Structures are given as structure tokens and as C-alpha cells.
Amino acid sequence: MSKLNILIVGASIAGPTAAYWFAKAGANVTVIERFPQLRTAGQQIDIRSVGVSVMRKMDGMEEAVRRNLAPMEGMQLVRGDGRPIATMNKTGDAEQQSLVSEFEIFRGDLSRIMYDMTKDQVMYVFNEQVTAMHHSADGPITVDFLNGHPTTVYDLVVACDGATSRTRAIGFDCAVRDHVVSNHYWAAFFSIKDDLLKGSLMGQAYTTIGGRFLAIGPDPTGINRVTLQSMHPPTKTEKDTTRPFREASKAGITALKTHVAERFAGSGWQWEQIEKGMMATEDFYASESVQVHMPSLSKGHFVLVGDAGYAGGPTGMGTSLAMAGAYLLAGEIATHKTNLSAGLQAYEDRMRPILKDLQKPPPGVTTAMAPQTAWGICVRNWILWGVTCVMAMGPAFSWIGALFGTAFAGAEKYDIPDYEWEVSSSS
């Protein structure tokens, strides 16, 4: 097999994971990233289920992740005056994860670990993006770039540029929002300089009327990590309820912060300190929660991995799906050697059953996060209090865990094979 030339677009989670495995298969890999440097913003993300399986196959990865775990011991749901309603602890067991995962790591740290593991094997080009792709009849794709990277022919182009992938729009000749389904909420993530948790490693979450969710998590450096979520259920007259958020988003970071501040005004609890911190922070990231559902993950020799192909939205599985997808794609391409279309088909066949399960949010989780009314909050608090009490009683009540279904799904259910990564010597 001659050496495959592969272009990967996006250097967050899916991109570097794909780069790792394609390099292992002996391919010639280039990764481009739209931003001028690796993006390190974001809060805790979970590695669960199939993500844990793939992490354990990467040399030294689990150790690196364990060294960088977010320090949170659990999460407490509190009332406006700070009194706890329910406490969710970690289980202390990676195979038996609770609502708080054993592998919670700051997104920027995970991205950095993956970048460090691959930067000597593959070429990273920052501040670059694709402007056009010309598919040839026998497969290879000629790619033009925006900022001066020379036009190049690739055997395979892998889009890992997130839920609103522009590369997907170019490759599938569709609009950016085609195949994107809104979950009717958005979230903002940022750090603040004040330690509102006063040294505690237990995170705190608070919800108030209007579907507003606020959470503060600890950080080893003494600052706090804040997550805000704002729910916007569709009404009879308005379906596209997150449009104002997207418009503020387009208008730039200051407009977006102002939009968030207006939405959370009057929340109570620690909102005033959080707002001060948000206005001053430099690592602000906010995005609408969406799912991506594609009829097909590839077109010719162009293929989607991670959020670009199957964003999971509120399932909390996005990162794990991205890691598993990158591994399965590289493994199937390596296995089918001379026949790329057979490899792409095998990737699709492996992903479909996983997506069918893991793209499904656990029932009621989004409404449970942030009810709209005072009565809804009251009911939710009682249910959550009950669930956490029962879960603390252990395996005898594991059927309660089953209610949350996919969030706890073990990986053994899905076939994540060990591939032969033989490196071809001919070229």
C-alpha cells in the first residue's frame, strides 16, 4: 500500500485522536486548525463508555488523563441560600460511573494531552481552513486553503471541525445548519478569579425559574469554573428559540456576554459575583447545544468524525463518541488497506449501532437540569433527592441507574476491536 495522504480539519478532540491512529497506521497526516493556536477554553468534559475503551488503547493516555483530572469530588444541588438539596458523589469506580464521571477532565487539558502525543508524528497547521474541495472520479480530493497552505491532493479528508462544521457544508454541498437539530438550550463556560466555593472541591449547582441553570466547579489553581445553561423550549408560535443567542454570538464576544448577562439577571444565589467574573474573564466560550444527524457519514473520500458527524448534545457523550469514531475510522481504513470505500463503509456500519444508543439523551435530563417554573423546580428537587438517596444505597437499586440508561452504558456492549496497525514500508 502506498502511503495515504490524509487531511484532518480541526484540532480539538476528534482531530488529534484521528491523527494519533492514522499516524499509527503509517499514513502521512496533516491537521489544520482555524484558530491561531490550540484552543484551551472549556470546562469539565467526561470520558465515558466507548471513550474509556479507546483511551486505554492509546499509549500512556490513561495515566496522562489521571494526572490531569478535574479536582471535583462531586456535585451538590443547592437552594438560593446555599443549603444543599442533593449530593452526587463520584462512585470511585470507572466501570460504574454515576452522574459525575470518574474521568472528568478540563477540555483544554484533554486537547493538550492529545496534541502533545501526536505533534511529533503529524504536521499541525494553525490559522488555516478549507475553502474548496474538488472530488476526482477515482477518489482523491484536491483541497484549496484560505491562508496560504498550498493546494494539495489528499486520499482522504476527515472533517473534525465541530457541530457547525463549515467543512461538512463544503464536502456535502449543503448549508452549515443542514442536519443540525437544536436542543433548545445554550451554555456558556468560563473561569472566574474569585473562589466562591471557598476551597471546597464539591461543585455547586443552582437552578431558578425561567429554565436557568448555574454551576460552579473547583479548579486546582484557586479560580472557579462556571457553567451557565439557558433553556428555551419551543412555543406554538416560535420554534427557533435560540436565534437571539446565535445572533449575539455573531456580533462578537462583548455582545454575547451582554446577552448572557441579560438572560441571567435576577437569578439570585451567587449570580452577582459570577457576572462580575464573566465580564472580566478572557476564556469565555458559549455555544448552542445541538445534535447532528447525517444520513451518511461520508461522501466519496470525504468523511466526518466527532461533533461534525454526530454531535450528542445533552447526552454528555460527545467527547467519547468523538474518540471512538476517530479510532474506528482509522482502524477500518487500516484494515481495508487498498480499498478506501470499503473502509469508510465499515466505519459507518460500526458507528450506526453506537449512535443509535448514545445519541439518545437520558429521559428527562434536560428538563430536570432547569425547569421553567417554581413548581417544576420543587418536583425536580424531590425526584433528584430520591434518586441520589437510592443510588447511594448501592447495587440493590441499580435499576434506578438503568432509568438514566445510556449515560451509564458500559462499553462492552459495543464492539471496539483491536486492530493491526502494521506500518507499510513501500511508498
Ligand X SMILES: *[C@@H]1O[C@H](CO)[C@@H](O)[C@H](O)[C@H]1NC(C)=O
In the list ligand X, ligand FAD, none, the entry touching 160 (Cβ below 5 to 8 angstroms by class) is: ligand FAD
Residue 202, CB half-sphere, CA atoms under 13 Å: how many? 11
Closest approach of ligand X to the CB of residue 87, in Å: 5
Interface positions, 160-189, toward ligand X (CB under 6 A): none
Distances in whole angstroms, Cα of residue 22 to Cα of each of 50, 144, 158: 19, 22, 11
H or E stretch at 304: strand 302-304
144 bridge partner residues: 132
User: Under a CB-based contact definition with an 8 Å cutoff, are residues 19 and 122 in contact?
Assistant: yes
User: Under a CB-based contact definition with an 8 Å cutoff, are residues 403 and 363 in contact?
Assistant: yes
Greatest Cα-to-Cα distance within the chain, rounded to the nearest angstrom: 69
In the list ligand FAD, ligand X, none, the entry touching 157 (Cβ below 5 to 8 angstroms by class) is: none
Q: Tell whether residue 30 is a contact of ligand X (CB under 6 A).
A: yes
Whole-number Å distance between alpha carbons of 99 and 114: 25
Whole-number Å distance between alpha carbons of 376 and 332: 47
Cell numbers at 283, concatenated? 476564556
Q: Tell whether residue 152 is a contact of ligand X (CB under 6 A).
A: yes
Instruction: Give the nearer residue to ligand FAD in terms of CB position, either 104 or 377.
Output: 104
Please tell me what DSSP assigns to residue 13: S
Give me the 256-295 binding string for ligand X, x by CB under 6 A, dash otherwise: ----------------------------------------
Closest approach of ligand FAD to the CB of residue 126, in Å: 9
Cell numbers at 173, concatenated? 454541498
Burial status of residue 202 (CB atoms within 10 A of its CB: 0-12, 13-18, 19 or more): middle
Interface positions, 363-402, toward ligand X (CB under 6 A): 388, 392
In the list ligand X, ligand FAD, none, the entry touching 34 (Cβ below 5 to 8 angstroms by class) is: ligand FAD
Interface positions, 49-108, toward ligand X (CB under 6 A): 74, 87, 89
- Binding test (CB under 6 A) with ligand X, winner from 28, 68, 127, 287: 28
Interface positions, 324-363, toward ligand X (CB under 6 A): 339, 341-342, 345
Closest approach of ligand FAD to the CB of residue 70, in Å: 11
- Contact residues for ligand FAD (CB under 6 A)? 9-15, 32-35, 39, 41-43, 45, 107, 129, 160-162, 166-167, 189, 285, 306-307, 318-319, 322
CA-based nearest residue to 357, from 55, 49, 53: 49
Write out the residues near ligand X by the rule CB under 6 A.
3, 5, 28, 30, 74, 87, 89, 152, 339, 341-342, 345, 388, 392, 427
